[in-house]
Amino acid sequence: MANLLCDERDVKFVLYEQLNIEELCESEKYSEFSRETFDMVLDAAVKLAEKEIWPTNADGDQKGVILEQGAVKVPESFHNAYRLYCEGGWSLLAVPPDMGGQGFPSVLNCAAVELFSAANQAFMMYPGLTIGAARLIEKYGTEDQLREYMDRMYSGEWAGTMCLTEPQAGSDVGALRTKAVKNPDGTYKISGGKIFISAGDHDLTENIVHMVLARVEGAPPGTRGISIFIVPKKRVENGELVDNDVICAATEKKLGIHASATCALNFGEKDNCIGYLLGAENEGMRIMFNMMNEARLAVGIQGLAQASAAYMHALRYAKERVQGPEIHALKDPTAPKVPIIYHPDVRRMLMWMKCVTEGIRALIYYAGYCEDRIHAAKSEEEAAKYQGFLDILIPICKSWSSDMGFRVTELAIQVHGGYGYCREYPVEQFMRDSKICSIYEGTNGIQALDLVGRKLAVKQGALFKSIVAETGNLLKNASKNYRLKDIVEPFAQARSQLVEVTRYFGLKSITEDFMIPVLYASPYLELFGDLAVGFMLLWQAVIADRRLEEIYNDAKADTPEKKAEVLRTNRSAAFYRGKVASAQFFSNTFLSLSKGKARAIMSGERSAIDLPEESFALF
Amino acid sequence: MKSLVCMKQVPDTETQIKVNSQGTGIVTEGIKYIINPYDEFSVEEALRLKEKFKQGEVVILTIGPDRCTESIRTALAMGADKGIHINDESLNSADPFVVAQALAAAASQVDYNVIFCGHRAIDDDFAEAGAMLAELLQIPQVTLVTKVEVSDDKTKAIVERDVEGGKETVEVSLPCVLTSQKGLNEPRYASLPGIMKAKKKPIDKKTAADLGITAEARLESREYSMPPERKAGKKLEGMEPPDAAKELVRLLRNEAKVI
């Protein structure tokens, strides 16, 4: 069986041909690495993902988690996969060497995590949340906290979680009520309840370190009065682990990621739950926000991963499943039956899935790459430039890729027909698992507000302007190639539409009509995402077209017949041809809609706001 | 405990093989290569022996073009200590006898208690090089090995091997050649720290001249072709069973010519 989790050739294309990450190795920070080590890491990741993690995917989905006497058990198959994951040191891939990690570039981590998440998204929640929590301690912890918690979390010996949500405090995190009362010894007594805590309890590790947002007695209301605490499930006393009064009260029954324990946690029911302050009091939100980019990118990777696995499975199915004759022989009952990839509607769906998946992949990796360029920057100016790109692209990476990634998984079911709707095939699980990505880590609606309300406003629109300038550079370059004309024109148009809508938002925001940008934040993010993905695909097309021409020239293929022969026999040529096609299809089916999308936004249509609640429907 | 592991790089089993237009070989462009799976068992077994004796060395010996470095590094990332890479145009796609000669020449330059080979390579499926190597070195060999227990003094080993319908247990004196079969072990995965360490481990490059051999092929490959596509079957439909049986016999005799 071929790798049905991701197109490895495309992964390498993005890493080496588009982003040219080998260049990162020239900076001192990444000087230890080379193409050879990157390849070895990718190969090892593919192997572990395919052979050990993927076989636990359907099993985890069917068995889910079991809550017994306040403790959660994960599916048995997860234990071996988790052990191998930790033994391989995968959590440490992009962790800095001075923190005990391997210090690989983030962009490579994106590729590895894509593979693992494609193999089993629910499984990856456990190490994923652990890393997020450990990163917080790495950044803000005291030396003692690093040694006591972070080291054990990076090695996988202990796990971690993020405890933000409470029943009344979801998107509105400032409404949280969990309480912290300072003890004479400087620790805090924690009491309260959290819900929707991913990986909140399980039996993969002997201890779990919860990062809990709580309000210290007497702290101001809202987000300004929130502190963050390290609250282990078992605390260390005299060198021994003792119970720290954290109880899992319930696990949610969910649409997808069944094997990820989504827990309701009660802290301090017996008044015996100790928390250790991370950073300073009332700094909780600021500390949390520091991790936001990373966490949101991680969800974007999940969206990508499910799309990737869904596309690969649908493609294989379409090549194998025989149904009906070719369209021009429809009326001939003796005509040979063909695989469904011969049928135009199936091809259209596959093409849609292909360009969206590849576009998301490039965008997500690009965000990871921006992070690396910040670290490897030679000047503050350069670092600021990439930080700007990253900041404005993060909500798009999270939302566009989870929304569109979901649609790819849905199309994978459509390609499979009735079988796709059945448990017998894995595609329906991809769709169910994928849906959560548009909801957690800040709903996509929140992401759109972050983009419109916060990111567009930074430095009077400087982030937006720098993205516009960057796409302009590419446009100039791509316009020189007449073969890319069909791609360039819709792209240029989409770009000016986005600029126009942004200007429109700017005007509205200073008038009494400021509700319009709020109301249309999500469609705006979609338009922005279309352009960002179009940017990636056009960039790729410029490279792929050049490579393809070189191959044609080398093979002296100067007629359509000879070119077809090259495409048939030369794998690279076929791949590059596919890359150009992705850009072309995307330009003509997505970007060409930008004018309509922009018009819909700028209609200023207010029904959604103005309509009295009573008029939505009569109950 | 010193082990020499003969390892071959082969196209991934998942790769769709295409024969080149001249019929002289397969299209190698764009292929993903892996360690021959049987050789991976060898690497794992050698590492386990080293771990068991708490001392020794695992040396990887490979013949092939530049790309084979990748596979050697992977074995080093699994934990092997060093590599010997024979890279010589005249040997890189040689026949099993020439390969065995080159392996023997290289083996005679190093110390070993055991030489491991995969019992066959999954690309050409000859299953000959290991046996020939033992003959050329004039040491004993056990093929299709599924279990290895080396005595504490490293002078002999009790070895289990596959035979038709069962297992055979034999004792063999060391040094010897063992050819690995599926079931010997579950190879470990390369870890990230292992990958980082592998970069710094030595790989010794050698040519035919370094080994003092000249390649004289005993085998000539005439042509590569894809297996013929399976023809569609024939269904006898809408017939009474006795008629269908008669027709079937007729077809088997006259068309398929099998009875």
- Token pair listed for A378: 């030679």
**For A113-127, B185-199, B234-248, which range has the lowest pLDDT when averaged over its residues?**
B234-248
Closest chain A residue to B20, measured at CA: A569
**Record: contact B29-A3, CB cut-off 8 A:** no
**Record: contact A36-B199, CB cut-off 8 A:** yes
Whether the Cβ atoms of residue B63 and residue B91 lie closer than 8 Å to each other = yes
Q: Residue A199's closest CA among A65, A83, A319?
A: A65
Closest chain A residue to B67, measured at CA: A36
> What's at A133, amino acid-wise?
A
Q: Residue B172's closest CA among B159, B153, B161?
A: B159
Task: Measure the CA–CA gap between A166 and B186, rounded to whole angstroms.
Answer: 46
- Over chain A, what is the mean pLDDT? 96
Q: Cβ contacts (< 8 Å) between B14 and chain A: which residues?
A: 1-3
From the list A39, A43, A90, which residue is nearest B192 (CB)? A90
Query: Taking 50 as the threshold, does the pLDDT of residue A533 lie above it?
Result: yes
Closest chain B residue to A9, measured at CA: B30
**Record: contact A2-B14, CB cut-off 8 A:** yes
More confident residue, B60 or A291: B60
Rounded to a whole number of angstroms, the distance from the CA of B30 to the nearest CA of chain A is: 6
**Record: contact A569-B27, CB cut-off 8 A:** yes
Choose from B71, B195, B197, B231 for mutation: most chain A CBs within 10 A.
Answer: B195
**Which residues share a beta bridge with B9?**
B35
Rounded to a whole number of angstroms, the distance from the CA of B198 to the nearest CA of chain A is: 9
Q: Tell me the whole-structure pTM to 2 decimals.
A: 0.93
CB atoms within 10 A of CB B190: 23
**Record: contact B29-A570, CB cut-off 8 A:** yes
Task: Measure the CA–CA gap between B38 and B8, rounded to whole angstroms.
Answer: 9
**Record: contact A3-B74, CB cut-off 8 A:** no
Alpha helix (H) residue ranges in A22-105? 35-48, 57-63, 76-87
DSSP letters spanning A157-222? SSEEEEE--BTTBSS-GGG---EEEE-TTS-EEEEEEEEEEET-S-SSSS-EEEEEEEEETTPPSG
Rounded to a whole number of angstroms, the distance from the CA of B247 to the nearest CA of chain A is: 23
**Record: contact B30-A572, CB cut-off 8 A:** yes
Tell me B52's DSSP state: H
Calculate ∠ Cα A460-A463-A466, nearest 5°: 115
Q: Cβ contacts (< 8 Å) between A32 and chain B: which residues?
A: 196, 199
Give the per-residue pLDDT at A73. Answer: 98
Rounded to a whole number of angstroms, the distance from the CA of B191 to the nearest CA of chain A is: 4
Whether the Cβ atoms of residue B58 and residue B80 lie closer than 8 Å to each other = yes
Q: Residue A12's closest CA among A52, A56, A53, A45?
A: A45
pLDDT band (50, 70, 90) for residue A2: low
Task: Measure the CA–CA gap between A414 and B164, rounded to whole angstroms.
Answer: 48
Rounded to a whole number of angstroms, the distance from the CA of A90 to the nearest CA of chain B is: 7
Q: Residue A431's closest CA among A446, A460, A459, A411?
A: A411
Rounded to a whole number of angstroms, the distance from the CA of A555 to the nearest CA of chain B is: 13
**Record: contact A8-B32, CB cut-off 8 A:** yes
Contacts of B64 (CB under 8 A, 6+ apart): B8, B9, B85, B86, B87, B92
Q: Cβ contacts (< 8 Å) between A52 and chain B: which residues?
A: 189
| Domains of chain B as residue ranges with CATH | 2-211 (3.40.50.620), 233-259 (no CATH)
**Record: contact A40-B195, CB cut-off 8 A:** yes
Query: Taking 80 as the threshold, does the pLDDT of residue B219 lie above it?
Result: yes
CB atoms within 10 A of CB A485: 10
Per-residue pLDDT, averaged over A18-34, amounts to 95
Closest chain A residue to B26, measured at CA: A569
Residue numbers of A between 35 and 54 with CB closer than 8 Å to B: 36-37, 39-41, 43-44, 47-48, 52
Q: Cβ contacts (< 8 Å) between B37 and chain A: which residues?
A: none
Q: What is the ipTM of this complex?
A: 0.89
Give the per-residue pLDDT at B98. Answer: 95
- Token pair listed for A194: 């959290």
Query: In whole angstroms, how far apart are CA A244 and each of A229, A234, A257, A276?
Result: 13, 5, 28, 12
- Report pLDDT digits (tens) over A447-491: 999 999 999 999 989 999 999 999 999 999 999 999 999 999 999
- Report pLDDT digits (tens) over B21-42: 888 888 888 888 999 999 999 9
From the list A8, A32, A84, which residue is nearest B189 (CB)? A84
* Cα four-point dihedral sign A295, A299, A300, A304: positive
Whether the Cβ atoms of residue A245 and residue A273 lie closer than 8 Å to each other = yes
What residue spans define the domains of chain A? 8-155, 159-282, 446-610
Query: In whole angstroms, how far apart are CA A341 and each of A95, A415, A422, A563?
Result: 43, 9, 20, 22
Rounded to a whole number of angstroms, the distance from the CA of B45 to the nearest CA of chain A is: 19
Closest chain B residue to A44, measured at CA: B190
B77 touches chain A (CB under 8 A): yes
Give the per-residue pLDDT at A188. Answer: 98
- Over chain B, what is the mean pLDDT? 93
Closest chain B residue to A8, measured at CA: B32
Per-residue pLDDT, averaged over A334-339, amounts to 93
Q: What are phi and psi of A423, to 5 degrees?
A: -60, -20
Percent of chain A whose predicted confidence (pLDDT) is above 70 = 100
Question: What fold is seen in the domain A159-282?
Answer: Butyryl-CoA Dehydrogenase, subunit A; domain 2 (2.40.110)
Choose from A7, A10, A43 for mutation: most chain B CBs within 10 A.
Answer: A43
Residue numbers of A between 407 and 466 with CB closer than 8 Å to B: none
Give the per-residue pLDDT at A1. Answer: 45
Q: List active site positions of A.
A: 441
Per-residue pLDDT, averaged over A509-533, amounts to 94
Residue numbers of B between 182 and 221 with CB closer than 8 Å to A: 189-193, 195-196, 198-199
Query: In whole angstroms, how far apart are CA A187 and each of A54, A138, A192, A231, A247?
Result: 42, 19, 16, 10, 20
Whether the Cβ atoms of residue A274 and residue A243 lie closer than 8 Å to each other = no
Query: Taking 60 as the threshold, does the pLDDT of residue A424 lie above it?
Result: yes
Give the per-residue pLDDT at A74. Answer: 98
Residue numbers of B between 7 and 66 with CB closer than 8 Å to A: 14, 16, 18, 21, 27, 29-32
Query: Taking 60 as the threshold, does the pLDDT of residue A75 lie above it?
Result: yes
Rounded to a whole number of angstroms, the distance from the CA of A89 to the nearest CA of chain B is: 6
* Cα four-point dihedral sign A498, A504, A509, A512: negative
CATH superfamily, region A8-155: Acyl-CoA dehydrogenase/oxidase, N-terminal domain (1.10.540.10)
Alpha helix (H) residue ranges in A326-479? 344-376, 380-416, 427-435, 444-449, 462-479
Percent of chain A whose predicted confidence (pLDDT) is above 90 = 94
- Report pLDDT digits (tens) over A569-578: 899 999 999 9
Per-residue pLDDT, averaged over B178-182, amounts to 97
From the list B27, B69, B190, which residue is nearest A44 (CB)? B190
Beta strands A337-339; A240-243: pairing state: unpaired
Per-residue pLDDT, averaged over A25-54, amounts to 95
- Token pair listed for A214: 């709580």
Choose from A11, A37, A40, A567 for mutation: most chain B CBs within 10 A.
Answer: A40
Query: Taking 80 as the threshold, does the pLDDT of residue A333 lie above it?
Result: yes
**Record: contact A40-B70, CB cut-off 8 A:** yes
**Record: contact B191-A36, CB cut-off 8 A:** no
Calculate ∠ Cα B242-B243-B249, nearest 5°: 90
Query: Taking 70 as the threshold, does the pLDDT of residue A557 lie above it?
Result: yes
